[in-house]
Structure 1
Amino acid sequence: MRARYIARQPIFDRALAVVGYELLYRGERQGPANVVDGTAATFSVLYEAFIELGLDVTVHGLPAWVNVEPEALTGGAHLVTDPASVVLELLETTEVTPAVVAQVEDLRAQGYTIALDDFVPDDPRASLLDLVQIVKLELPAIAEGDLAAQVAAVRRPGLTVLVEKIETQEQHAEALAAGADLFQGYFFTRPQVLTMQAVTVGTASVLAVLSQVSRADVRLHELSELVSSDVTLSQKVLQAVNSGFAGVRRRVDSIHQAVVLLGLERMRQLVTLVVMAGATGKPHELGRVSLVRASMMVALLGARFPDAPRAQRDAAFTVGLMSTLDAYTDTDISEVAERLSLTEVALDALVHHEGVLGRLLDTVLGYEEDRLPDDEAECAAAAYLQAVRDADARWAVVELETAGVSA
């Protein structure tokens, strides 16, 4: 049976708010993203997202962006979806024929949003720009320094311009300056290269708090005193605990009580999340990615080592959670890890991807970036979807309860 599973990638507006997720097909392939049957892939993604998982679980109510082939549209795959819940992306393999033009016009009349995917200079689909609502410019296909000209060239009244495959903060800044409306890529999980003199107050604050809570020799009473000394931080931690986030079933009225109930490692994790949620200048989606990675680490550990002790599961969660700290602090992960005085196991996992936890982290990142071999990707898929469910529920609570936290 053909492997069928999905991943998702957020799409941001100019304010770095998530406006949708592209659902990315993962299946049997010769190499990365080599989908043999585009029609089958379309049906597979739609089935997974809308029937097996439920749209709210997959993209929590935001539009799902799905790649489609003309044959899939002809086959009626789109008819199982609410037009407001999807954006249909026409692939670069789409040939502009009278039938395709008629399909696009019909879909628009039904209320669907249509995007041209992987649009490049001299694209043969250019005649469709007046029919679709969104065009996705493929950044790697545009010559350095030409992005603004390309945005201007495709600009039409009512046409939204998205720049995709943005891999660095610098590329994102270029796309912003070029006038793009939407942005897609892994740029938000990458640190911006800064000199030490340019490290922001928010960055310094994040590192200051986390360097204390992450100390290998920190004691319960020290952690309690550290959190209690920051009125805003302690308030938000208590709100998160009492919301049910950490599984505590009784009312907690003090940080000391929370520390005793949760234990050292789980309290560290919660404080880390609260600090992340309040980080300034970073998209909230970065916190969600942190939680997905953390939850996926635990799920993979459980699948590979069913008898793994609680301490190792906690360590796996923490490593996944901290794997985005380079992006949060705009500092190389090795420097972040050194500042945080992490255990040798966590340090090896985060910096060198060594040891059991390091190999798990490499699997998590490999699935995220679609570079795993088929057998490994199929095993990781269940852990990923489980992690998405868990992370979305947890992050919604953290975002709500930590609104206004200043990092």
Structure 2
Amino acid sequence: MDDYSIFIGRQPILSRSGDIYAYELLYRNSEENYFPDINPEQATISLLINTFLSVGIDQVTSGARSFINFSGELLAQDVFMSLNPDQVVIEILEDVEITPALLHRLRMFKEAGFTLALDDFILQEQYVTYSQLFELVDIIKVDFMQTSIVEKHRITSFLKNYPSIILLAEKIETEADYQLALKSGYDLFQGYFFAKPDIIKSAEIPSNTLIHMQIIDYFQKGSQSVNQLSDLIMRDVSISYKLLRFINSLAFDIPRQISSIKQAIMMIGLRDTKKWLQVLMLHDLGKDLKDGRVKALIELSLRRARACELLAKYKGKANKDEYFLTGMFSLIDAVMRRKWEDILPLLSLSDIIIDTLNGRRTEITPYLQLIKAVESFDWEQVEQLSGELAIPKKELSSIFLQAMRWSQGIEEEMD
């Protein structure tokens, strides 16, 4: 298995008319279609990061909403409140203990616009004790395979007191199950009778463990420096990419023109950026670079980013951060093994960066061409472009040496 493959399971949830109402998203770590032996919290964190920050939610669900399992521990974390409630249904696992504190958290999610679902519902004493739960819940899922006929009848009778709650029949295996669910007043359906979970496969961008450690140190020191944090993030292609993806998953509208990592942090807010980075650290920390091809592409991406930035600085460009991001993401298609047209819509980059990466000529284009010419030892092209840009060969050599040392220094930290 490719060390940098991402796998996301999804199973459709259908309406009475047979339309796709939503998908339940499932953590997977291979193309084998079963849940691996992993902590549920870690599974959900990985699923959220893979879905929203690596692949892109629209690529996974094609615009439909996604049911995602949440444990009590995850429901207590403020960071997930920043997800877009139009995209996510909070599915509360059956083993979550109902407490006044949990009800308070669920009320906060509800007020933020989230749809709440109870998973694998059976009539437990805690549900009767905390009947106010049913004033918050929108959907109740009943396991048709494991729940007895008697228990199903008890559930439907009990929920007549809460007519706004939608019943979802899951693990529908046969036509008989489906017909029973229809007659019993269920409006949503999920199970092998309709479709088995399918697996979406994509590629992960490997991260730099040392940069992760330095970011954690930044947190522990309680630093409030946006400049310091942006400098750290700029040294890691994976975090930079995911930060820009995070902007597209936010629940509120923000300007979509990003020209620097610092600007992205300022748009999100330092507080929320820190929260998401902490979740990202839990997911990524300890991953090692094993694929030599990917490692080489990451180093080359960093070298291009630094060279673009230094060339822009030498020429007195005010937008040197845009040059840096253009260089950094110039190989992202090769790293992720995805087409440009699939990747660029996922990022909130400025027009000049997107146009350059798409091959349209911009002020950045000749600088990127010059860098590529040096990389491929095309000295005729180097001579022509450096002349047109009025960059002396001595200065060009110095810039490339600095860029190489900078990128290699980061790569050595990864080993």
Give the TM-score normalised by structure 1. Answer: 0.44
Give the TM-score normalised by structure 2. Answer: 0.43
Structure with max Cα Rg: 2
